[in-house]
Structure 1
Amino acid sequence: MGNKKLITIAMSLFLASSALAGCSGGNNSKNSGAPASDAPASSEEAVSTEPVTFTYYNFQSRGKDVMASETTIGKKLQEQTGVDFKLEYLVGEADTKAGVMIASGDYPDLIAPEDQIDKLMDAEAFIPLDELIEEHGPNIKRVYGPYFDKFRHTDGKMYILPYSANQGYIGDPNISQGAFWMQRSVLKEFGYPQLKTLDEYFDLIRQYKAKYPQVDGKDTIGFAVFAPADTFYNVQNAAMHLAGFPNDGGVTIDLETHEAKVVAGTDNIQKPWIKKLSEINAEGLFDAESFVMNKDQFMAKVTSGRLLGYFAYNWQIGEATNNLKAADIDEKRYAPLPIVYSADIKDQYVDPPAFVNNRGVGISVDAKDPVRLIKYIDNLLQEENQILVQWGEKDVTYSVDENGRYFLNEEQQKNRDDTNFKLSYGFQYFEYGWPRYGSNSLLTDGNSYGVGNQPEVAAAGFTEGDKTLLEAFGATTFSDYFSDPDDRPWYPAWSINLGQGTPEQIFSQKSDDLQKKYLPKMILESPSSFDALWNEYMGEFNKLDKATYEATMTQKVQDRIAGKW
């Protein structure tokens, strides 16, 4: 089983940076599309290359703080522009960091605010970008022009450049978003059954754990959810996926009426999921540390060989599974499964095409030189630099065949799976967190913008274990055995801005607080207490103004369908 390798990999994750493997803003539909037809623009004015250093702060924990020029990509961009960045990432609580920034009035030059966007907008932390883009942003206009009206503020101005805007479209051969994941040794043990329902999923884990109660002298862990306070949405979102909905945040939206309904407190969506976790916890199948372990601890369990199944989004913990792949421990890697409550439900784990308008990068009111910053971003959006931040350098980090198709040779693929390489080269810092093409975009020559979406890369990256599993499932890629996404022109609803201090925002916050208080109790205490706790939870929940929230979300969804973002 390669147990020494497993221990080594698990220990290395405690030392590795807590960098995210991907992002949630990409689109993962399998629908095809045409490549972007517009040629990359270039500014006619001379761009100064006078050396200058700016500060950049990202409210995600993507990696250690570093000078951009210490990475290969950052150094090349510095050579083009003269601009270097002190890159800083979140440590601790996002709310606390945003509060300190606002209270002090001291802001970095560039800020990627993540879920602190409303607070920072209300504090007037950003400058409008309209005139800067008009005068200095030909590539910004090329990439984002069709989307401008989707991310204007209520005053009609643009303050944040979203992380991505699709240029053409290609589907994802893998599952980079959410799924119920199962260790492949479990599937192999029972002949690769194609599981569909939650009961089937847990029954297989139950059987395997009974047969193999320990790994390396430690108890086998049946199932976990990666749900500490900052990713508690994992335990919340799983319920909507089980009911056949994609990740629209805290609501489900009817495909015909477009009505938004809150997931929390529902007898048919949230309750059966939480009750099931209570039942498996009583059996000893649930990891009670799900709500308290940090990312490194969770990934150490993923790579230990002890954890049989979990729910999480692949971009959250991809580096752990990449390490298992790099170490050639295939049977301990995980397969994504489209698990739902009952066999008659159509799964919707694969995202439909989306545009996320409330995540991105803004220039702060304290920025030393906004013109220089917007020129840097514009230069970044030249297609040659978009290739650099995703693919790197030809014949170094990727190769090109005689037909002009991009691929990775064995060494290049190995580097792609190496977190330390991604950090030192700069992929970890620049492939996400900056204005860019959407993950499912096509380059003008027809190659995929996202490396993982390139068919040649996906096929070459499949191990013998991958091929065996896919053959057993009658599929050629992992997304093949998931359902195609239904059309949702508003998607994702979680990107709808509600505004700080509004009744809707207050409802959302109080609802989250109640769920964080009660759901772990219902799961971890005796099943005999479940009904009483659920009733207590609902008693508190019913005091909230759910009706106003649902009415507002319904209206905003319908506005988006009508083209009013």
Structure 2
Amino acid sequence: MKRYQRFVKPVAAAVISFMVLGACSNNLATEGAEPAARNQEGATKEEPIVLSIVNSAGGTPSFPTGDPFWDNNPVAKALEEKLNIKLKWDVYSGVGKDKLNVTLASGDYPDLIMLSDPARVIADKIAIPLNDLIDQHGQDLKKKYGSALNLLKQSDGKIYHLTNSYLPEGAAPPGYGYSLQVRKDIYEALGSPKLETSDDVYNYLKRVKENYPKTHDGQTMYPLSGFNRNWGSPYFGMIAMAGSPADSKLYIGKDGSVQYWPKAPWAQEVLQFYNKLYREGLIDPEAFTQDYATWQKSKLYPARVAAHIGGWNQTYDVLKTYTDAKLPNAENMYFQNAVFKFPSGDKPAVFSVSKKGTGAIIITDKCKNPEAAMKLLNYLTTEEGNLLAMNGPEGIQWDMAGGKPTLKKSYLDRWIAGEKQVNIEKETGMGHYARLVGSDLGKTSWGTYWILKDDPIATNDTRAQQRDKALSPYWYDATTLGDLMVGADTDTLNKQQAVDKRLYENAFSVILAKSEAECLAEFEKFVNNLDAAGAVQVEAYMTKMHKLYENRLAGKP
């Protein structure tokens, strides 16, 4: 899945402005600040505004907050030079929510809080409304979030939190998500046939079985394989090819109605396709029972998998295993990505993204300078600020070259060599501020990825370039599909849990049927069991919420 800007001309100009601003007085001074310090030239420099922040949501760099780096890293220095603002960090390890609850109960909490679910702090009036602050100090932020700000409004019309990892207004994400992955050496040996439809895939897997029944060391080769992780690999990838928003378990009708995916017009065809592969021995019979670790150890690493339908990253790193083992033709044994379609299916939806984003950051009622807090958040949504947060400041691991931000060769070599990210975080500050309001979805105005080390062009990663080209057209805007059960009564929630259980478990009987007639009968039972568990009631509630969110997103009451 991400898994999301306005740079003042070249970034080099920004660095010069940092230096100038560092010698100038800043208009963000707090009341009662210490007397201004004097620099070497005798000019006054106001003491920085210090904002306290706690991260209880995880996802921070892996070094302790007691390390001076937290207060004295390159990004912190750049922000202080730019805005005269400094963050005093705390990070809750372990179950951060529990410690946060204790902190909130004590009344001694910081200016800003990063957390997973803002419901309690909003209800307890710990989070202050942000509407006026956004209007006065958040113009860049408003452009970045766009209409998604409407979905952050509570029932009183106020916005109390912001998010990260959202898809910026007008942006399109890179190529991530689910796909069919075929091993390159086998695919090319069979003539690189087109893999555009389910029939193409079926015919290809038949040829694999005929031509590659065994591995080089005599083990059984599986034309298609997979593993069982909440059915995430076996069917999420398959229904994504048919148009169900990846990971959602849902089908959205043209009228905006929400149903579980087995009720989609293409659902029976998808499961029949899977069943056909199973009955003809084209799929690993343990694909629906083995866990991920077992699959890797017994099937993927021994090079017994010719194709796989699932997340692109699930096979991406296996090339090193093959080359380390010095397998024949190992350098060509990596997996390429392909997206195919079903005759009755919709456009594939391999990667779901949300304009609303995830997580939350709030400004608390203890904050003495909420204006400064909003100016910081606004800056971090600009192109300059987001690039700074994602990569660290210009001049350490990247420079402007050829009119765009470019990794220095010394750092590029380190990334390609597989150096641990924490080492480079320590030197650059990258990622340290990225989860406040940052996003790595979409691309910069220079056409680069937001995180330069992930950019397949910058790193000359031809495999990732192929993935991008294959998958990028098939993302899905799932902004209005989150939180569809919010506010549901206990009976509806219980029915949802019962339906979800059957959704996962009962699909097995359809796919593993011994004949086509049995497959069709099991499919009918599958759908009827969902309705017996209360699917219709749950779908009606989700449809109501989906349409409500669509109206909110459009700015309608």
The TM-score, its normalising length taken from structure 2, stands at: 0.69
Write the distance in 1 (CA, Å) between the matches of 2:8 and 2:527.
53
Counterpart in the other structure of 1:23: 2
- The Cα shift of 1:45 comes to 0.6
- The residue aligned with 2:307 is 309
Shift of 1:195: 0.5
3-state DSSP of counterpart to 2:337: strand
- Specify whether residues 547 and 376 from structure 1 end up closer, same or farther in structure 2 by C-alpha distance, changes over 3 A only: closer
| Mapping 1:430-441, distance limit 5 Å | 430=432, 433-437=435-439, 439-441=441-443
What letter matches 1:541 in structure 2? L
The share of aligned pairs that are identical, in percent, is 12
User: Residue 563 of structure 1: SS of its match in structure 2?
Assistant: coil
In 2, the alpha carbon distance for the partners of 1:499 and 1:279 equals 39
Q: Deviations over 1:241-260 (max 9, x none)?
A: 33245448333334xx4332
Shift of 1:337: 0.9
Please say if 1:243 is aligned against 2:245.
no
The secondary structure found in structure 1 opposite 2:547 is helix
SS at match of 2:317: helix
Which of the numbers 545, 548, 553 marks the counterpart of 2:540? 548
1:407 maps to a residue whose letter is T
Aligned twin of 1:198: 198
| 2:270 maps to 1:270 | no
Q: Residues 60-110 of structure 1, C-alpha deviation per residue, up to 9 Å, x if partnerless? A: 7x98675496879993344442533436478xxxxxx97998799779974
- The residue aligned with 2:39 is none
Counterparts of residues 318-333 of structure 1 (less than 5 Å): 320=317, 330-333=331-334
Paired residue secondary structure (2:182): strand
Question: What does the per-residue CA deviation read over 1:433-491, in whole Å, with 9 as the maximum and x for residues that have no partner?
Answer: 43124621434xx4545247999x5276244x78xxxxxxxxx96555569569x8x74
Paired residue type of 1:537: F
Aligned to 1:58: 57
For residues 506-551 of structure 1, the C-alpha deviation after alignment (integer angstroms, 9 at most, x for no partner) is 5544332221222245445756865565444333211211552364
The residue identity in structure 1 corresponding to 2:405 is: Y
Classify 1:236/1:205 alpha carbon distance in 2 versus 1 (closer, same or farther; 3 Å): closer
How many angstroms apart in 2 are the aligned matches of 1:549 and 1:515?
18
Query: One-letter code of the match for 1:515?
Result: L
Give the letter aligned to residue 180 of structure 2.
F
| Deviation at residue 340 of structure 1 after TM alignment | 1.5
Does structure 1 residue 348 correspond to structure 2 residue 348?
yes
**Kept after mapping to 2: 8 A contact 1:71/1:423:** no
Q: Determine if contact 1:246/1:351 at 8 Å carries over to the other structure.
A: yes
Measure the CA separation in 1 of the matches of 2:199 and 2:276: 11
Report deviation, 1:339.
1.3
Q: 2:186 maps to what in 1?
A: 186
Alignment of 1:217-228 (within 5 A): 219-225=220-226, 227-228=228-229
Extract unaligned runs of 5+ from structure 2: 31-46, 81-85
- Which residue of 518, 526, 535 maps to 1:537? 526
The correspondence of residues 130-145 of structure 1 with structure 2, limited to 5 A, is 130=130, 140=141, 143-144=144-145
Tell me: CA distance 1:133–1:278, structure 2 relative to 1, closer, same or farther (3 Å): same
Q: Does 1:44 align with 2:31?
A: no
Q: 1:495 to 1:129 in 2, by over 3 A?
A: same
Shift of 1:499: 0.7
Name the counterpart of 1:162. Answer: 163
Q: 1:86 aligns with which of 84, 88, 91?
A: 91
CA change 1:144–1:537 in 2 (3 A) is closer
Aligned residues of 2:209 and 2:282 also touching (Cα < 8 A): no
Does the 8 A contact of 1:243 with 1:341 survive in 2?
A: yes
Q: Of residues 539, 547, 551 in structure 2, which corresponds to 1:559?
A: 551
The CA distance in 2 between the partners of 1:110 and 1:169, in whole Å, is: 28
Query: Contact (CA 8 Å) 1:348, 1:484: kept in 2 or not?
Result: no
Structure with greater Cα Rg = 2
Distance 1:175 1:49, change over 3 A: same
Q: Which moved more, 1:235-244 or 1:148-157?
A: 235-244
Question: Is the Cα contact below 8 Å between 1:58 and 1:433 reproduced in 2?
Answer: no
2:486 paired with 1:492: no
1:157 Cα deviation from its structure 2 partner: 2.3
Within 5 Å, give how 1:367-446 maps onto structure 2: 377-378=377-378, 380-381=380-381, 383-394=383-394, 396-401=396-401, 403-408=402-407, 412-417=411-416, 420-426=419-425, 429-430=431-432, 433-437=435-439, 439-443=441-445, 446=446
2:517 is the alignment partner of 1:517: no
Structure 1 residue aligned with 2:338: 337
Deviates more, 1:280-289 or 1:191-200: 280-289
Question: Contact between 1:110 and 1:362, CA under 8 Å: does it hold in 2?
Answer: yes
Cα distance between partner residues in 2 of 1:73 and 1:295 = 40
**CA pair 291-369 structure 1, distance change in 2 beyond 3 A:** farther
Q: C-alpha distance in 1, partners of 2:431/2:289?
A: 28
| 1:269 positional shift | 2.8
Query: What is the letter of the counterpart of residue 480 of structure 2?
Result: A
TM-score, normalising length from structure 1? 0.68
Contact 1:507–1:549 (CA under 8 A) maintained in structure 2: no
Contact 2:55 2:92 in 1 (8 A): yes
Change (3 A) 1:537 1:184: same
The aligned counterpart of 2:252 is 253
Cα separation, 2, equivalents of 1:409 and 1:507? 55
Tell me the distance in 2 between the aligned counterparts of 1:409 and 1:540.
58
Relative to structure 1, the CA distance from residue 346 to residue 538 in structure 2 (aligned partners, 3 Å threshold; closer, same or farther) is: closer
Distance in 2 (alpha carbons) for counterparts of 1:302 and 1:560: 46
Seen in structure 2, the aligned counterparts of structure 1 residues 501 and 304 have a Cα distance that, compared at 3 Å, is farther
Q: CA contact under 8 A between 1:265 and 1:538: conserved in structure 2?
A: yes
Change (3 A) 1:159 1:511: farther
SS at match of 1:127: coil
Q: Deviations for 1:143-188, whole angstroms, at most 9, x for unmatched residues?
A: 447643232122322233121456675656x621222222222311
Give the 3 Å change call, closer, same or farther, for CA 267–139 of structure 1 in structure 2. closer
Output the CA distance in 2 between the equivalents of 1:507 and 1:68: 47
Deviation readout 1:482-507 (Å, 9 max, x if unpaired): 69569x8x743323543143476555
Deviations 1:198-226 (A, max 9, x none): 34324434433551523666544443456
1:410-446 C-alpha deviation (Å, 9 max, x unpaired): 6544544566532333388558643124621434xx4
Which amino acid in 2 is paired with 1:334?
Answer: F
Structure 1: state its 5+ residue gaps: 1-21, 27-34, 91-96, 467-475
Cα shift at 1:388? 2.7
Structure 2 letter corresponding to 1:312: G
| Partners of 1:73 and 1:418 in 2: CA distance | 29
CA contact 1:68–1:84 (8 Å) conserved in 2? no
Q: In the alignment, what sits opposite 1:75?
A: 73
